Chain A
Amino acid sequence: MKNLLVWAALAAPLAAHAQQGYTIQGKIGTLSKPAMAFLSVRTNGVRHLDSTYLTNGAFTFKGKVNEIKEAHLMLKHDDKPADPTMRQRFDVLPFFIENRDIKIVGKDSVKTAKIIGSPTNDDNKQLDNYLRPYYAKLEALNKEFAGQPDKMKRDTAYIRTLNVRAAQYQKDAVQAKLTYAKTHPTSYLALVALNSTLSDDADAVGAEKIFRQLPPATQNSELGKSSLQRIQKLKLTQMGVEAPDFTLNDVNGKPVKLSDFRGKYVLLDFWASWCGPCRRENPNLLKAYAQYKDKGFTILGVALDKEADREKWLKAIETDGLTWPQVSDLKYWNSDVAKLYDVKAIPMNFLIDRKGNIVAKYLRGDVLNQKLAEVLK
């Protein structure tokens, strides 16, 4: 009986929390009306906005969230109407909202205010401190570049070394985030950190393993669901996996199947006639094609042009002198193949090996030539 009582006592505050929702008690100096605080919470793409005047610095928001959410607390210090022609500067504090009694205390702004009584925001701060050195390195790189004389800023060799260093620092930052996610699975921030590493070249198989270690509630949260979706999409085109097969018509309306190129290295290249950056990359592709086409290499161009722009597509192929196979469903960004490969921006390409497996992605400029030299010795 004694045991039961203890249990009840422990359970009570937990239950009360779940019922209670959140209370945000703010205290920002001694600001008063017309100073107004806004609380914005986004759920499933819909923004919920609450507002209240400050009285002697104090304000309160009450409500309930069904899970931890990103939120923004915004303070409007005066009642001047917003000028639509000016860029607006707000006093904003991004934070995580959870069903607890949260205090937000600041001297004269919410931007620099302290958040008290919220474990998730404590974790956020901890993660922030942990990642800061990694970002400091990237910032230092920006500063280094900004401090160079104009001549140096245009020096492509120098810019290349910068890019190499930046890529390494970003890799380090991604690794740090994954380490955090692995070692802090019970924190919601583990998911936030993991989600932020899901760029196009992410190791989706590795990310899924870490994801599966998170508690079910985190996995099933709104962000959890979208992260898993992203992981599953990335897995389709991850290096080492078989390239999803497809058939599209070429410029003469003749069907071309990706797997017909088995036995050759294929650069699957997404582009469009209207895409300047793609067209500017074409000379580089021409060079690579000329150099390696007799060594078991080809390019398959997939154009994201519109049905009405068939002529523009053909003209661009002719103007740029592209002689490798060109296919398109002329569905613009609704191209089924672009969806299949989760193409979010163009140009985008995938290098597929002789067995039909993806071995590299987004190869541009020198990087493409280096990679081809490596695999087509």
Chain B
Amino acid sequence: MKKLLLSGALLLGACAAQAQILKPVKWAYAAKKTSPTEAVILLKATIEPGWHVYSQHVKDGGPVKTTFTFTPAKAYTLVGKTQEPTPVTRFEKTFDMEVSYFATSVIFQQKVKLAGPGPVTVAGKLEYMTCDDEKCLPPEELPFSVLIK
């Protein structure tokens, strides 16, 4: 669904209209049941070439890190923290510190323990910011909800 641009007129998306509809990061959510009482929530960011989404563990004094907040509910409890794959870590002279980020795509995973057998909806929100070499876009706060069948 990346090519949501109309072939003709919005081919323009590639160029002039970019400033207006810059959306280099797209999020998708899913769940995988790993046992009758456990599941993993998958939060996936697909990132356009050149853009970065930052690790949850970027230290203070650098770019804005990615954060996940899950809405507490009786139907599930979180198991551990939200996991992320090994990010690209680079020393950034401008910040005088190491900055960890993801490019192309990243899947964050949150294990949950389910209270009962029925379908459960896990909801929450995430906040992330994205930059490329040229600029940074405003951080976005996105609500998500995932159904575990």
Contact residues of A with B, CB < 8 Å? 70, 72, 74, 84-85, 87-88, 90, 92, 94-96, 124-125, 127-129, 131, 135, 138, 170, 173-174, 177, 189, 192-193, 195-200, 230, 272-280, 312, 315, 319, 333, 344-348
Contacts and interface: CB of A to CB of B under 8 A. Distances in A.
Contacts of A280: 94
B20 A84 contact: no
A103 to B, nearest CB: 18
Contacts of A124: 6-9
A276 B94 contact: yes
A216 to B, nearest CB: 21
A331 B139 CA distance: 13
Nearest to A126: B8
A198 B17 contact: yes
Interface string B1-32: 10111111111111111111010000011111
Contacts of A128: 7-9, 11
Interface of B: 1, 3-20, 22, 28-32, 42, 44, 46, 60-64, 92, 94-96, 99, 105, 107, 131-139
A315 B138 CA distance: 22
20 contacts: A84-B30, A94-B10, A96-B6, A124-B9, A128-B11, A131-B8, A131-B9, A138-B14, A138-B15, A196-B16, A199-B20, A200-B19, A230-B20, A274-B136, A276-B62, A276-B92, A277-B136, A280-B94, A344-B22, A345-B22
A92 B3 contact: yes
A275 B63 contact: yes
Contacts of B28: 84
Contact of B135 (A74, A199, A347): A347
A199 B19 contact: yes
A319 B96 contact: yes
Contacts of A94: 3-7, 10
User: Ordered nearest first, which 7 A-B pairs have the shortest CB separation?
Assistant: A128-B8, A84-B30, A196-B12, A279-B94, A196-B17, A199-B19, A333-B138
A276 B46 CA distance: 21
B9 A192 contact: yes
A232 to B, nearest CB: 14
B6 A70 contact: yes
Could you say which of A94, A272, A278 has the most chain B C-beta atoms within 10 Å of its C-beta? A94
B39 to A, nearest CB: 12
B63 A276 contact: yes
Contacts of B5: 94
Contact of A170 (B16, B62, B96): B16
B138 A276 contact: no
B85 to A, nearest CB: 12
A273 to B, nearest CB: 8
Contacts of B105: 87
